[in-house]
């Protein structure tokens, strides 16, 4: 049975939520990563994915100016890097210098792939839409990459407070 | 290490993906549910969520005409209903009559809540954006509801082919 609750309480039931890391080149030539839980696929043909970035975030301007980005699906072992990239601002630091992870060059956009991620998608910024306090960036995928290790699994936010880790299928009764 | 792959192969690494059920009233007065894996939160203040619906889907016209809908987070025991609502069209049938589930009236929009879901969010259609072969519907949340049973967990698509079920946190080494 459903009972009415404040939005903030109701939405706390959403977890686990898969996260992505968006990486775009900033005006200083640095590859700036930001970890985001608000993301979705938005088109099959052509393939597109969207992310929501806070209007006041440094990454908002970086992605808008770059016009292209990589969307990495971090693996479940990348929780510490994902947490760092999601809770610090590239306005204040070179995030990938402060918390280095293995990268490879992207092939179609000026950005980097995360070598240990489950998969990476190179995106050209296709459109954007302001929704409340975030902007939706829609990226058209121009190249796709996967980890040669097929056993790696995605990283999720498991609970409020940035508790992150992997998930496995649960036995369902009912 | 990353290797380049076709998009369809790379995106198959995305799972598990949380699903939602969007319910809107159609022109015949029927509450039409559609199950969607492509969904995200898009704003904190005011709260908003987005869904992507195929341009050719019956639900696209239904949601656009209704201008409001409920977004239910189905629980892990609702896999059969979610599969039915996602793989049949309301153009051909009354989906909730063909596959009944427990409902409660919504309070702020003309739709229904799914009583056994983890949570339900009543939405007013705020904006929309065509992205490739889908349209993004952005809903402003005007009421939120949760299951009185706090132990219920969300339903996920676990693998290609609409394999659905629940997930639990995995122990992560590394």
Q: Per-residue pLDDT for chain B (174 aa), expressed as one digit of tens each?
A: 999 999 999 999 999 999 999 999 999 999 999 999 999 999 999 999 999 999 999 999 999 999 999 999 999 999 999 999 999 999 989 999 999 999 999 999 999 999 999 999 999 999 999 999 999 999 999 999 999 999 999 999 999 999 999 999 996 544
Q: Prior bond to B23 cis, omega within 30? A: no
* A13-53: pLDDT as tens digits: 999 999 999 999 999 999 999 999 999 999 999 999 999 99
ipTM of the shown complex: 0.96
Pick the closest to residue A33 from A61, A76, A72 (CA basis): A72
CA–CA gap between residue B98 and residue B94 (Å, rounded): 6
Residue A172: pLDDT over 70: no
Question: DSSP class of residue A111?
Answer: S
A171: confidence class by pLDDT, cuts 50, 70, 90: low
Given CB atoms, is A10 within the 8 Å cutoff of chain B? yes
Contacts of B169 in chain A (CB under 8 A): 16, 158, 165-167
* A2-15: pLDDT as tens digits: 999 999 999 999 99
Nearest to A134 among B15, B42, B104 (CB): B42
Provide the chain B residues 80-119 that lie in CB contact (below 8 A) with chain A: 104, 107, 113-115, 117-119
What pLDDT shows up at residue B171? 67
| DSSP SS3 for A62 | helix
A85-89, A169-173, B9-13, range with the lowest pLDDT: A169-173
What pLDDT shows up at residue A21? 98
CA–CA gap between residue B85 and residue B78 (Å, rounded): 11
Fold for B17-165, please state it: Pnp Oxidase; Chain A (2.30.110)
Contacts of B151 in chain A (CB under 8 A): none
CA–CA gap between residue B62 and residue A109 (Å, rounded): 38
Q: Confirm if B48 and B41 have CB atoms less than 8 A apart.
A: yes
What pLDDT shows up at residue B40? 98
Given CB atoms, is A1 within the 8 Å cutoff of chain B? yes
Q: What is the mean pLDDT of residues A147-153?
A: 97
Residue B39 backbone phi and psi in degrees, to 5: -155, 155
Place of tokens 């402060």: A98
What pLDDT shows up at residue B86? 96
Q: What is the mean pLDDT of residues A68-77?
A: 97
CB hemisphere CA count around B81 (13 angstroms): 26
Nearest to B134 among A2, A42, A133 (CB): A42
CA–CA gap between residue B22 and residue B63 (Å, rounded): 9
CB contact under 8 A, B169 and A167: yes
What pLDDT shows up at residue A25? 98
For chain A, the farthest-separated pair of C-alpha atoms sits apart, in whole angstroms, at 55
CB contact under 8 A, A13 and B146: yes
Q: Where are the domains of chain B?
A: 17-165
What pLDDT shows up at residue B174? 40
Nearest to B40 among A4, A50, A146 (CB): A50
Residue in A with minimal Cα distance to B116: A1
Contacts of B171 in chain A (CB under 8 A): 165
Residue in A with minimal Cα distance to B112: A2
Nearest to B129 among A73, A127, A167 (CB): A127
Percent of chain A with pLDDT over 70: 98
Give the CATH superfamily of A7-165: Electron Transport, Fmn-binding Protein; Chain A (2.30.110.10)
Percent of chain A with pLDDT over 90: 97
What pLDDT shows up at residue A141? 98
Q: What is the mean pLDDT of residues A107-133?
A: 98
């Amino acid at each position: 049975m459903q009972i009415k609750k404040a939005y903030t309480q109701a939405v706390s039931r959403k977890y686990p939520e898969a996260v992505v890391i968006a990486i775009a080149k900033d005006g200083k030539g640095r590859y700036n990563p930001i970890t985001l839980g608000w993301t979705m696929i938005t088109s099959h043909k052509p393939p597109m994915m969207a992310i929501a970035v806070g209007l006041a975030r440094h990454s908002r301007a970086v992605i808008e100016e770059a016009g292209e980005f990589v969307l990495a699906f971090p693996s479940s072992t990348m929780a510490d890097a994902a947490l760092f990239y999601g809770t610090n601002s590239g306005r204040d630091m070179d995030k990938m210098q402060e918390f280095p992870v293995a990268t490879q060059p992207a092939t179609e956009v000026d950005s980097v792939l995360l070598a240990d991620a489950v998969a990476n998608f190179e995106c050209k910024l296709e459109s954007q839409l302001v929704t409340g306090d975030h902007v939706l960036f829609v990226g058209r995928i121009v190249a796709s990459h996967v980890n040669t290790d097929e056993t790696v699994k995605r990283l999720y936010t498991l609970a409020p407070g940035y508790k992150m880790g992997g998930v496995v299928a649960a036995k369902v009764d009912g």
